[in-house]
Amino acid sequence: MECVVQGIIETQHVEALEILLQGLCGVNKERLRIHELCLRSSPNLGSVSSEVRLICDLEQPEPTWIIRHVGGAMRGAGAEQLSVLVRTMVESKASKNALRLFYALGYKLDHELLRVGFSFHFHRGAQITVTVSSVNKVPKLHAVDEAEPVTPGIQLVEVTAPAASDNYTEVVTAVSSFCEYLAPLLHLSKPGVSTGVVPTAAAAAASLMSDGGGTTV
Amino acid sequence: MPVKWVLHWHPSAGFSVNTQIMNEISQCVESLNGVKDGRWRSVLTFYKPITRDQSTAAEFPRDFLGLSIPEQPSKYYFIIRGQRIVLEADLTIQSIMETLQSYKSRVSLNFEGIQYQLGDFQVRVGKVAPSHSETMRGIVMEVEYLPISSVDKSRQILDDFVDIWKETLSKKSLPGQFLHIEPNFGEYGLSDQYTSQHTAVQYATVMAQLIATVQSTQGVRN
């Protein structure tokens, strides 16, 4: 399972966010260019309709495919009160035939995306990953070079951390407290709960750009 | 990775496999100075589609197999032989498949037995039995030539080894023989450099042969 929150930021403030993240995490960013294929089961296949994602980071020297299944969110009154979404997520590396196999099994391509941006991986109470990316739609089959932004001028920020049933409360706390540091630039919330851009972003970005993000927290 | 051949026991017409044949084969490996090197087990699972409408089941593959092998304990293999597809994935792919609820395990077969070292060769002999019963359904043999990883370059030496092996075994006058059917690895997009995906493809081929043998045996009985 994983803990996840998302937010959006205007592209003009991404550089400031990068400076802030660099200062907070103390690690270098990693570029990413992720080709994501979302597959859906044929209408007659499966007791319920199912969805699986094939993901490949084209920025890696030897790109490899990952099969990812994102399951339902944790439910219940306790889960409602958390500011972070806790959901099942299982990944498996796969050889190059993953798409052919799923086509043969009766899955159809629903849509494909190209995420371009960067990420930071670090440990701060939990193994946290912050991903900042522009989400692009792929107009023609597999034509990633012709990808166009879904929301021009806006980038998606995602904070995730792996968790297990016996430690997710600690992970939620770690993710929540990390998100507070980003609050002047963007607001992070559970996926699907849109909170828009924050009004203080421009001022916070200007401040960060002027002192170069040298302040460590 | 060393090249491996997977052979299966083809019983003579009217005969089936049994423990006695298995024991005779094991004794034969030992007579070639095979040194016991532990036990091994591979598990092959048949998956079937879960469909909302039974009449549409034919749209989906009936020969979808999953395989776990001892030399790659953190990997899992899928094979659809009819469409010449093999996939290597992590073990976690099994929980992804369970969660998707689009295919379910129909039956699992264990391939298990003893591993031997014979100089540069590693030999495994094992019985094939459903995971829920001890009933033997077949016998398999893996022969691995450790120094070479090219399928082409190892063919001659493996062929010679199998010839010697068959000759030795023929002295026992058992009702059947080992067969080796080399799949066309190129059709699966596999190269000459041997990988565990080659092993997975061979298991799918052996499985098809075992099913054909069982069906023909039943045909004779009927």
Residue B145 has a pLDDT of: 96
Collect all residues from A whose CB is shorter than 8 A from any CB in B. 41-48, 50, 52, 67, 69, 71, 88, 90-98, 100-101, 104-107
| Residue of chain A with shortest Cα separation from B82 | A104
Residue A217 has a pLDDT of: 47
pTM: 0.92
The size of the A-B interface in CB pairs under 8 A is 92
Mean pLDDT of chain B: 93
| Residue of chain B with shortest Cα separation from A91 | B92
Strands B3-11 and B176-179: antiparallel
The CA distance from B23 to the nearest CA of chain A, in Å, is 39
The CA distance from B49 to the nearest CA of chain A, in Å, is 7
Contacts of A75 (CB under 8 A, 6+ apart): none
State the fold for domain A2-211: Hypothetical Protein Pfu-838710-001 (2.40.320)
Q: What is the CATH number of the domain that holds B98?
A: 2.40.320
Residue B218 has a pLDDT of: 66
Decide if A94 and B51 are in contact by the 8 Å CB cutoff.
no
| Residue of chain B with shortest Cα separation from A69 | B96
Task: Check whether A214 has a pLDDT greater than 60.
Answer: no
Reading the block at residue A27, the tokens are: 């690690």
Residue B116 has a pLDDT of: 97
- Classify A78 as helix, strand or coil: helix
The total number of structural domains that make up chain B: 1
Bridge partner list, B122: B117, B144
Mean pLDDT (whole number) for A22-39: 95
Q: Is the ipTM of this complex over 0.95?
A: no
Q: Quick one: how many helices (H) and strands (E) in chain B?
A: 4, 9
How far apart are alpha carbons A67 and A105 in whole angstroms? 14
Q: Domain locations in chain A?
A: 2-211
